[in-house]
Amino acid sequence: MGSGPPSESGIILPALKRLAASLLLSLTSVAAVLLGLEGALRAFRPQPVPFFARLFVEDPAVGMRHRPNLRARMPSEASGSVDVRINSRGYRGREYPWDRPAGFRILGLGDSFAFGFGVEEDDTYLARLERALASGHVEVINAGLAGMGPDNEAALLAADGGALRPDLVLLGLFVGNDLADALTGPMRTRLREDGPFVPDDVLERWYRPLRPGVLLARPLPHPSTARSTTLPVPFKTFLRRHSHAYRFLSGRLGRWRLAARGAPAAAPADFTVFHTEAFCLQAYPPELDEAWARARSALTAVQSWCGAHGAKLAVVVIPTEAQVYPERWTETRRRFDLRAEDFDLEKPQRILAAFAGENAIPLIDLLEPLRAARATGGPLYFTTDIHWTPRGHAVAADEILRQLQARALVPPP
């Protein structure tokens, strides 16, 4: 007697087993390839963790701080990358006897110029200043916060200044974006797995076309709001920090997607409050006047703190590269189709000088010293970003030292 037709389970179960075996074999093969790629990259081509993804932690009082005790490599046009060490208080540089100054103490506040973006620690103007004043037992703490503005710096001083007990607060104010930072508020930046980003509500309010006398209502597309180009996989933060294969593949996938969309490599053609010569406009819209009001408020808070704690204050005015190099200003005007007659490149310095004079704040304006130095040596600003080269820091440090000594703001040598 012959057997009957096979049951449905007799057909499906073996097929499922074969499918499962094939799937397991495929997954094992993929895992083997990825493990091999991971090992090869670790051995022969390590993939760096993105610098800004590691640098910051959110802080409810200050906005953002640098991650304490970090050791990392920072991108640099000069040499590819430079060493960064962050001490236990979140400042760039060595440890200090926080509550027991060894001598005269200078607390250097500021943004990425004070921090020293793209240069070695010893090349920053604050480190150079400390070496120049070493004979007077002066120590200089670099509390520059990359990406922060004067409102963040006032908050940092209020939070940390009492313990640090500075004799002099040296605040660097970059007229290129510190005023936009003051306008957009101390919490303008947040963190996600791939580093700092500007929230959508800030961009929707402020990333708009800027014209003489008016900030237009039309919001602009911004790279920060673009769809992510990283791999859509779980545990992305863990993989980004620990897997060389993930960083290698996600970076290339991002570039492929951008190429497929035909995304332009250049910055948007619209001129906004976030561009470095925005505050050189002859005719301000009300929003830029508000930015100055907020910046003045932050400087007044710093001055009040210094007065209450027996510290001196000096403000260093850091110009943009277009203010120093005429050819850079020509490039900027062509890039955004700007008219020269709509701008006054020295307007921010005059506004600050008037405010400093009214409030008896020593002001160290670096515009003319940097202009004088532009034809006598190497470049003062990098070509691929807005920051000073080591030579720019050297020129700045020399002028700051000269003016501090001339005004008796530091001990004599």
Domain at 106, CATH number: 3.40.50.1110
Residues of the domain holding 16: 11-46
184, 322: one domain: yes
d(CA 351, CA 346): 9
Nearest to 368 by CA among 328, 323, 402, 316: 323
209, 329: one domain: yes
Concatenating the DSSP letter of every residue in 241-260 gives HH-HHHHHHHHHHHHHHHHH
pTM (whole model) above 0.75: yes
Domain annotation covers residue 375: yes
282, 304: one domain: yes
349, 370: one domain: yes
Domain annotation covers residue 24: yes
Query: Residue 230: what pLDDT?
Result: 40
93, 30: one domain: no
130, 93: one domain: yes
Nearest to 150 by CA among 301, 356, 364, 281: 301
Phi then psi for 83, rounded to 5 degrees? Answer: -75, 140
Domain annotation covers residue 390: yes
d(CA 176, CA 347): 12
181, 214: one domain: yes
56, 25: one domain: no
Over the range 153-181, which residues count as b (16 or more CB within 10 Å of their CB) and which as e?
Answer: bbbbbeebbeebebbbbbbbbbbbbbbbb
Mean pLDDT along residues 6-30? 70
55, 171: one domain: yes
Domain annotation covers residue 393: yes
106, 73: one domain: yes
Query: Residue 264: what pLDDT?
Result: 43
Give the pLDDT confidence of 308-364 residue by residue, as tens digits: 999 999 999 999 999 999 999 999 999 999 999 999 999 999 999 999 999 999 999
199, 341: one domain: yes
Domain annotation covers residue 240: no
Residue 276 near residue 336, CB atoms below 8 Å = no
- Report whether pLDDT(101) > 80: no
d(CA 205, CA 355): 28
Contacts of 392 (CB under 8 A, 6+ apart): 370, 379, 380, 381
- Report whether pLDDT(268) > 50: no
Query: What pairs with residue 313 in β-bridges?
Result: 169
Domain annotation covers residue 344: yes
Residue 68 pLDDT class (50, 70, 90 cuts): very high
d(CA 69, CA 238): 20
Mean pLDDT along residues 364-389? 94
d(CA 190, CA 353): 33
Place of tokens 């673009």: 226
Give the pLDDT confidence of 143-165 residue by residue, as tens digits: 999 888 999 999 999 999 999 99
Domain annotation covers residue 326: yes
Query: Residue 129: what pLDDT?
Result: 98
- Report whether pLDDT(75) > 60: yes
Domain annotation covers residue 153: yes
Please give the tally of structural domains in the chain: 2
168, 216: one domain: yes
Residue 162 near residue 127, CB atoms below 8 Å = no
